[in-house]
């Protein structure tokens, strides 16, 4: 009889010990799951890089800043490193809308005119320097307005070209910058600074997608594609 009681007591003790451990195990699993759900960081898979923020994969972004670097992400979340100018252009498009018309409106209305915006270093592309300046400070001259629009157009997939040259005045030639976009073999002119300066002038063109020599536009000379 004593042996039976001893055996029963042993079984009861084992069961009690198991029950006291089980909840702790369940809690540990729950905590691990919650931590994984909030994961933030890089994941490499199949030779490609993905980035997670709070457990969600970043996808379909034209521009995204991580630390001091800039990236774009496709529909599946595959990351590609981009330049600062391109990254800032992509981030701006995410905010204003991924359309060329909205990019032009931003560069011709939201960039306030200011001269003397400095010059790029020898190793830096002019279109990159002026675009970064415009996106960061929100003001600039014709070079800044053109560069910001050029970068956004390029990010959107257009065959865009940052232009430098001049325009004819009555007795002189003024320095100027604008953008060309080639579509189906035809070149269109886009001039954000012209649109900014002549928006309230009767008879002036909108500055958006016109041909050289069009009525109500500038007389462009010494045209050169810089990029």
- Per-residue pLDDT of 25-67, as tens digits, reads 343 333 333 444 578 999 999 999 999 999 999 999 999 999 9
In the predicted model, what is the mean pLDDT of residues 193-213?
96
Structure tokens at 155: 């990010």
Spatial distance between the Cα atoms of 37 and 53, rounded to a whole number of angstroms: 9
Q: Check pLDDT > 50 for residue 3.
A: no
| Domains within the chain, CATH numbers bracketed | 37-82 (2.10.270.10), 83-225 (3.10.620)
Per-residue pLDDT band at 227 (split at 50, 70, 90): confident
- Per-residue pLDDT of 128-181, as tens digits, reads 999 999 999 999 999 999 999 999 999 999 999 999 999 999 899 999 999 999
Cβ-proximal residues to 214 (8 Å cutoff; 6+ apart), any chain: 189, 205
Structure tokens at 213: 């020599």
Q: Given the structure tokens 């981030």, which residue do they identify?
A: 91
- Per-residue pLDDT of 205-216, as tens digits, reads 999 999 999 999
Q: Check pLDDT > 70 for residue 23.
A: no
pTM of the model: 0.82
């Amino acid at each position: 009889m004593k042996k039976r009681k001893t055996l029963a007591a042993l079984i009861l003790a084992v069961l009690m010990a198991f029950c006291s451990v089980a909840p702790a195990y369940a809690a540990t699993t729950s905590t691990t799951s919650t931590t994984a759900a909030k994961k933030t960081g890089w994941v490499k898979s199949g030779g490609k890089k993905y980035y997670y923020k709070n457990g969600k994969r970043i996808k379909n972004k034209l521009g995204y800043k991580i630390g001091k670097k800039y990236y774009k992400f496709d529909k599946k979340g595959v990351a590609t490193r981009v330049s600062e100018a391109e990254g800032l252009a992509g981030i701006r498009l995410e905010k204003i809308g991924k359309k060329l018309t909205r990019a032009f409106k931003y560069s011709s209305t939201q960039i306030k005119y200011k001269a003397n915006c400095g010059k790029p270093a020898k190793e830096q592309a002019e279109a990159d320097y002026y675009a970064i300046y415009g996106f960061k400070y929100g003001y600039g001259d014709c070079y800044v307005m053109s560069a910001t629009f050029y970068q956004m157009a390029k990010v959107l997939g257009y065959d865009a070209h940052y232009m430098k040259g001049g325009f004819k005045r009555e007795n002189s030639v003024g320095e100027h910058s604008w953008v060309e976009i080639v579509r189906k073999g035809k070149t269109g002119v886009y001039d954000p600074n012209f649109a900014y300066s002549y928006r309230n002038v009767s008879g002036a063109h909108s500055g958006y997608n016109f041909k050289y020599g069009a009525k109500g536009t500038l007389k462009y000379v010494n045209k050169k594609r810089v990029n």
